[in-house]
Amino acid sequence: MELSSDLMEKPHKSSMKKGGLRTMPFIIANETFEKVASFGLLANMILYLTNEYNMGIVKGSSVLFIWSATSNFIPIIGAFISDSYLGRFRVIFFGSIASFIGIVMLWSTTMIPGARPPECPTHENCKSPSSAQLALLFSSFVIMSVGSGGVRPCSLAFGADQMEARSLQSFFNWYYVSTGVSIMVAVTVIVYIQDNMGWKVGFGVPAILMFLSTTFFFMGSPLYLMMKANKSLFTGLAQVIAVAIKNRRLAFPPRDKDGWYHHGKGSKLIAPTDNLRLLNKACIITNPQEELNSDGSSANPWNLCTVEQVEELKSLIKVIPMWSTGIVIAVNISQNSFPVLQANSMDRHLGPKFQIPAGSYGIFSIVTLTIWIAIYDRIIVPLMARLTGRPRGFSLKQRMGIGLLLTCIGTGTSAMVESVRRRNAIRQGLSENPLGVVDMTAMWLVPQHCLTGLAEAFNAIGQIEFYYSELPHSMSSIGVALFSLGMAIGNLMATAIVGVVDHCSKRNGKDSWVSNNINKAHFDYYYWILTGLGLLNFLYFLLCSFTYGRCKKDRNRVLDEGDETKEEEEGNPREVSVMF
């Protein structure tokens, strides 16, 4: 989701006849039902593709990686359209309708005869899906991604638009609680329904929930405050690049002369910094009569930008290397398909009658993330603050680095567990049976899920807070957008890695390490490759961290206990609490 730069802006008093806490049930219901529906479908989708569409593991996982990448990228477009043109209400409403249509289309693949290839219980010589069948399936994925691109980036900001300042914290608390609960319900209840009542009911329930989501949101429309769309921050950054390129042959003004650079009224920045000097040409005034209005504003922002715009773009460019270190961890934490296949080949019984669905083991990652956030905030932070003098415990870069290391430990653990599972499968004579269930409890998978959740708690939240801290206050919307973009690129990279591993490992007639027969394949080797990439990425992170220098919070931290130096956080960035 993307937080708008005016997230904390207080509505005008004359508008308070609308909005307020009474809108909260409609907005939270919309977001909650949407998340239950979408996450409930994603958790078990690899089994639907492999069992019902006869897709191989490589193709099925690649489809899901691309779907996830699309779902992470489109919200950035949705936020741009919301801020620049349509406004948040329209984008959320149209997004909800699109999500409902997409889920109904996916549901129809279970209801319409001929929408799927014939059943193939043996998983041998199966008929591949036709082009028309794939077109219906992939269209449903695309439309659902478009829908989530409308709901997720705007829901939190739209809810904040409705609240007075004193009600914001209450809204945020309920919002994050509902988000956590909805994802837990999705990976447990919805997945259980799919496993025990079939795909028709399992996909029908999310369709009904998405219909309720759209209906509840629309029912609250008479109560909502409708904020007008403004120019998007992305537009301002694009203007700097365009004007700097246009003025690339322009000479720099003398250093000892004032009034050469265009800056906002009342701004403390009257001249740009010397780093990335080429961008400074975007705010040089060459002809005041033509380029400035009577009030001092730019007559055409595509011909003259402000110093503030230039410095915002420089801040964004500066954090890009640190942002790039999060791509590999996005690859590792997005490995949702293979753990489901592992669990499906193991003993999932909890007691004599109850069996945990294979897609529900991801709940251990979510629970670990949630518990750690609470422990860290209430216990670790006060303790570390006393020991290190840091008000938030570990520094932002330390939290990001710890998350990267934990991810490596998590994928290494996955490799070792898979090696044990595979040896047991061979010992029990299941190497030629892709559907064989190994006599080994699936609880062996819990540690790797817990480590993934812990890594995400450190790195993901640390990443977003790093962006909020390092970027100017006016760029608060960029933080989550950068994280979402990193996840999208990470999913595309994961697709490429699976394809390369599959291609290279099956040369000379050998079975692929990620072949359809999980009891014969070498998924442990695949996990070791991810571990190696994670370790290389950690070394790259150390290099980026060293060259970046101190964070703003560290530079402004109290250097001694005297009264002369006080901590003053530049730009007054807000503390961030972002889950999932």
Three-state SS string over 430-480 comes to CCCCCCCCEEEEHHHHHHHHHHHHHHHHHHHHHHHHHHHHHCCHHHCCHHH
pLDDT of 23 = 86
pLDDT of 576 = 40
pLDDT of 6 = 44
User: Which whole-number Å values give the CA distances from 375 to 378, 380, 457, 580, in the listed order?
Assistant: 5, 6, 11, 17
Q: Contact 44/359 with Cβ under 8 angstroms?
A: yes
- Give 347's strand partners: 441
Helix and strand counts by DSSP (H, E) for the chain: 19, 2
Neighbours of 481 (CB within 10 A): 21
Lowest mean pLDDT, pick from 83-87, 113-117, 460-464, 476-480: 476-480
Placement of tokens 């994802």 in the chain: 183
* Between 409 and 79, residue with greater pLDDT: 409
Q: How confident is the model at residue 580 (pLDDT cuts 50, 70, 90)?
A: very low
With H, G, I as helix, E, B as strand and everything else as coil, classify residue 232.
coil
pLDDT of 423 = 93
Report residue 17 as tokens: 């006849």
pLDDT of 556 = 56
Domain range summary for the chain, segments of one domain joined by +: 1-230, 233-305, 321-349+358-580
pLDDT tens figures, 312-371: 899 999 999 999 999 999 999 888 889 999 999 999 988 888 889 998 998 999 899 888
Question: Residue 270 contacts by C-beta under 8 Å, 6 or more apart in sequence?
Answer: 258, 261, 263, 307
Question: Residue 63 contacts by C-beta under 8 Å, 6 or more apart in sequence?
Answer: 49, 55, 138, 141
Cα distance between residue 402 and residue 455, in whole Å:
7
Backbone angles phi, psi at 441, to 5 degrees: -65, 140
- Give 349's strand partners: 355
pLDDT tens figures, 364-399: 998 998 888 888 878 887 887 777 666 667 788 988
pLDDT for residue 453 is more than 50: yes
Q: Of the CATH numbers 2.60.120.10, 1.20.1250.20, 3.30.2310.20, 3.40.50.150, which one belongs to the domain with range 1-230?
A: 1.20.1250.20
With H, G, I as helix, E, B as strand and everything else as coil, classify residue 514.
coil
* Between 60 and 479, residue with greater pLDDT: 60
Lowest mean pLDDT, pick from 358-367, 509-518, 559-568: 559-568
Q: Contact 447/409 with Cβ under 8 angstroms?
A: no
Tell me the average pLDDT across 549-554: 72
pLDDT for residue 142 is more than 90: yes
Pairs from 117-126 (Cβ < 8 Å, separation ≥ 24): 117/53, 117/54, 119/52, 120/54, 123/54, 123/434, 123/435, 123/516, 126/54
Q: Which helix (H) or strand (E) holds 346?
A: strand 346-347
pLDDT for residue 155 is more than 80: yes
Lowest mean pLDDT, pick from 227-241, 522-536, 548-562: 548-562
Neighbours of 260 (CB within 10 A): 16
Backbone angles phi, psi at 440, to 5 degrees: -155, 125
* Between 323 and 576, residue with greater pLDDT: 323
Nearest 5 degrees, angle CA 225-CA 228-CA 230?
A: 140
Q: How confident is the model at residue 571 (pLDDT cuts 50, 70, 90)?
A: very low
pLDDT tens figures, 207-225: 999 999 999 899 988 888 8
Fold of 321-349+358-580: Growth Hormone; Chain: A; (1.20.1250)
> Percent of the chain, pLDDT > 70?
88
pLDDT for residue 560 is more than 70: no
Q: How confident is the model at residue 524 (pLDDT cuts 50, 70, 90)?
A: very high
Q: What is the mean pLDDT of the chain?
A: 84
pLDDT of 258 = 66
Lowest mean pLDDT, pick from 177-181, 417-421, 473-477, 522-526: 473-477
C-alpha count within 13 angstroms, C-beta hemisphere, residue 382: 5
Identical fold, 1-230 and 321-349+358-580:
yes
pLDDT of 210 = 93
pLDDT of 63 = 93
> Percent of the chain, pLDDT > 90?
40
Q: Contact 497/504 with Cβ under 8 angstroms?
A: no
Q: How confident is the model at residue 565 (pLDDT cuts 50, 70, 90)?
A: very low
pLDDT for residue 60 is more than 60: yes
Cα distance between residue 80 and residue 95, in whole Å:
14
Tell me the average pLDDT across 129-154: 92
Tell me the average pLDDT across 181-196: 91
Residue 367: burial class (beta carbons within 10 Å; 0-12, 13-18, 19+): middle
Residue 20: burial class (beta carbons within 10 Å; 0-12, 13-18, 19+): middle
pLDDT for residue 411 is more than 60: yes
* Between 131 and 562, residue with greater pLDDT: 131
pLDDT tens figures, 5-32: 444 444 444 444 777 878 888 888 888 8
